[in-house]
Amino acid sequence: MANIVLLGAPGAGKGTQAALIKEKYNLPHISTGDIFRKNIREGTPLGVQVKAIIDRGELVPDELTVALVKDRLAQPDCKDGYILDGFPRTIAQAEALEGFSKVDMAINIAVENEAVIGRIAGRRMCKCGETYHVSTYDREECAKCGSRLYQRDDDREEVVRERLRVYDEQTKPLIDFYANRNLLRTVDGSGGVDATFELVCKVIDGNR
Ligand code: AP5
Ligand code: MG
């Protein structure tokens, strides 16, 4: 049983590590960004509401995001643990989360800004949730489902800069928030995917 929050800048590798944790520890991976993008793709009322905000690199309002996560964590598959990726992202969201779930650890994937910019620039996504990088995967179709890969609309350079600014201003304070509660575990995310995953596993296993 582990309720895990993944922290880290845009492009740090939260989604990549979450997919590996999900497979090894059999925990549901809940990415608010993926949920929003799915709604945008499907043209739902939520998708219509959040598209312009996400395309500008700003944050979706706390109230809306908190309600969404609260609902999701109430699903039966979360009763033995979960991986939250991209939530909480503000102090208000972290405080709200404390009201309906007990976080066991917040794993911060630490990567320098220059590195995340390169990672985001080369990122390719699949609608099934798989994430690739052009430096390690040069095909245009997903290895898992065969769908055509695409670049995220908010991965344009000027939007990435805004996302990094928003991260520094609103999300970085969560590092202290969880450190103060003795829940923060920082891993060096500057190595490759596998090296980072080894560090992540050590943290998870050490806490069990
Ligand atoms: P979200 O989808 O959460 O985006 P993000 O936080 O900007 O993070 P990313 O998904 O860009 O990066 P990641 O850390 O997952 O990196 P990845 O594993 O893909 O949010 C998008 C938007 O939705 C927000 O801007 C906001 O508008 C809204 N939103 C979402 N949640 C919200 C909330 N709680 N409140 C309000 N608004 C919210 O890796 C990146 C690339 O690097 C990939 O190509 C990958 O293959 C590669 N890579 C990964 N790890 C490594 C490694 N170790 N070495 C080399 N390459 C690597
Ligand atoms: Mg992600």
Query: How many beta carbons lie within 10 A of that of residue 50, not counting itself?
Result: 23
DSSP run (H or E) holding 188: strand 184-188
105-110/131-133 β-pairing? unpaired
Residue 13 near ligand 1, beta carbon < 6 Å: yes
Question: Region 123-128: what's the mean pLDDT?
Answer: 92
- Are 124 and 132 in contact by the 8 Å Cβ rule? The answer is yes
Q: Which residues contact 172 (CB under 8 A, 6 or more apart)?
A: none
Amino acid making up residue 45: P
Question: The pTM is what?
Answer: 0.96
How much of the chain exceeds pLDDT 70, in percent?
Answer: 99
pLDDT over 80 at 208, yes or no: no
Identify which ligand lies nearest to the alpha carbon of 34.
1
Both tokens of residue 201? 């596993």
Write phi, then psi, for 79 (nearest 5 degrees). -70, -25
Residue 189 near ligand 1, beta carbon < 6 Å: yes
pLDDT of residue 207: 63
Closest ligand 1 atom to residue 122 Cα is: 44
C-alpha 185/C-alpha 105 separation (Å) is 7
Identify which ligand lies nearest to the alpha carbon of 35.
1
pLDDT, tens only, 96-112: 999 999 999 999 999 99
Burial 178-206 (b: 16+ CB within 10 A, else e): beeeebbbbbebeeeeeebbebbbeebee
First-to-last alpha carbon distance for the chain, in angstroms, is 8
Q: What is the largest CA-CA distance in the chain?
A: 45
Question: What is the best residue among 20, 32, 90 to mutate for testing ligand 1's pocket, by most ligand atoms within 8 Å of CB?
Answer: 32
pLDDT of residue 114: 87
pLDDT over 90 at 129, yes or no: no
29-31/81-85 β-pairing? parallel
- Are 187 and 162 in contact by the 8 Å Cβ rule? The answer is no
Ligand 1: distance of its center to the CA of 45 in Å?
A: 23
Closest ligand 1 atom to residue 53 Cα is: 27
List the catalytic residue out of 37, 119, 123, 124: 123
Question: Region 156-179: what's the mean pLDDT?
Answer: 96
